[in-house]
Amino acid sequence: MTTSNTIYLDHAATTPVRPEALAAMWPYFSQQYGNPSSLHRLGRETARALRTAREQVAGVLGCSPGELVFTGSGTEADNLALRGVALARRQRGAGSHLIVSAVEQGRVIYANIRKFVFFLLSSNMAEVMIIFLASLAGLPMPLTVIQLLWLNLLTDGAPALALAMEKGDPDIMDRPPRPKTESIIHGPMKSGIVIQTIVQTAAVLTAFIIGLYWTIVDQIPGGQNMLSAVLQYDWRGVDVQTAETMAFVTLSLCELFRAYTVRSERTSIFKLGVFSNKYMQIAVLVSITLTLLVVLVPFLQPIFNTHMPSAEEWVIIFALATLPAIVEEITKFFLRRQSPKTAAA
């Protein structure tokens, strides 16, 4: 109800705040401002809350704060003050939550960049070492040029992109901040790259040597060691399709299986959940499909120099392809034991 230019709401603006209302607000203000020796500061904060409420009501009603005259009981004034304080507290809590969320998201993005770099660097280093060591030993090339392009552009690319969609480790906010001078490729990652390069190189070259051995097994005299027979054989003019197929598929599956373990630098894949990243499922499914097309589709086989592996070859391929993922999980286990709570994020 209005008279002239005055709006009558509640006279509580001029009513002192009751002691019980001050007592109710005391825990909040003591937390925010320490433990004052008197209630004077609390009274000032309450008055400020009342003024804020008056200004907000005036804005809604389209008048100036001076045109508002409050009527009613002191209890209603206390409630108004309490609502103002509660609003301020909620706003402060929302701001703190936003800051924490921003820090967490920043850590997740940085961790995903490291996973991306680690996955691609270790995979590419392994490919380089496979070609280098085979050439050094005088063996045929384990991988053709087009197979390497297929691996780098299609097989590696999809899982690497899926790593960017990771939600982050469960304990990422429990870790201390990383040093400003720390490189993306830090100590543990350097060790991981070396370990994975060695394991993937060994797995693929083992598959390749077994394939070479099966290619010439009828020509090897009895009692000769497989490795020495393969190294001493003259491979000029010999079609090594079986060996190349085994090396190509083994390396493809090595990288796809290991993509799951790279999803965290320290946390076990079983704690994260094998299927918790739906983008990784899509990426791996697409990459496996592309790999199978290369070895199954007849018109693609001569282009990539592949064939459909036999059951015996598949057993060797799968057994060797799982080794890098297993070693990665073992590496993370020892990292957790060495510094369970000191890894920076």
pLDDT of residue 64: 65
Domain 110-338 - what CATH class? mainly alpha
**pLDDT tens track, the chain, 345 positions:** 444 444 444 444 444 444 555 455 545 545 544 444 444 555 565 556 556 666 665 565 556 666 555 554 444 544 555 555 555 555 555 555 667 777 778 888 888 888 999 999 999 999 999 999 999 999 999 999 999 999 988 888 889 889 888 887 777 777 777 777 778 887 788 999 999 999 999 999 999 999 999 998 888 777 778 888 899 888 988 889 999 999 999 999 999 999 999 998 888 888 888 888 899 999 999 999 999 999 999 999 999 999 999 999 999 999 999 999 999 999 998 888 876 554 555
pLDDT of residue 10: 42
pLDDT of residue 2: 43
pLDDT of residue 110: 85
Beta bridge partners of 68: 7
All structural domains of the chain with their residue ranges? 2-72, 110-338
Place of tokens 């004052």: 36
pTM above 0.85, yes or no: no
Q: Residues 95, 43, 63, CA angle at the centre, nearest 5°?
A: 70
**b/e code 304-331 from CB counts within 10 Å (16+ = b):** bbbbebeeebeebbeebbebbbebbeeb
31 burial level (CB within 10 Å; 0-12, 13-18, 19+): exposed
Report the alpha-carbon distance of residue 42 to residue 3 in Å, rounded. Answer: 34
Report the alpha-carbon distance of residue 340 to residue 327 in Å, rounded. Answer: 19
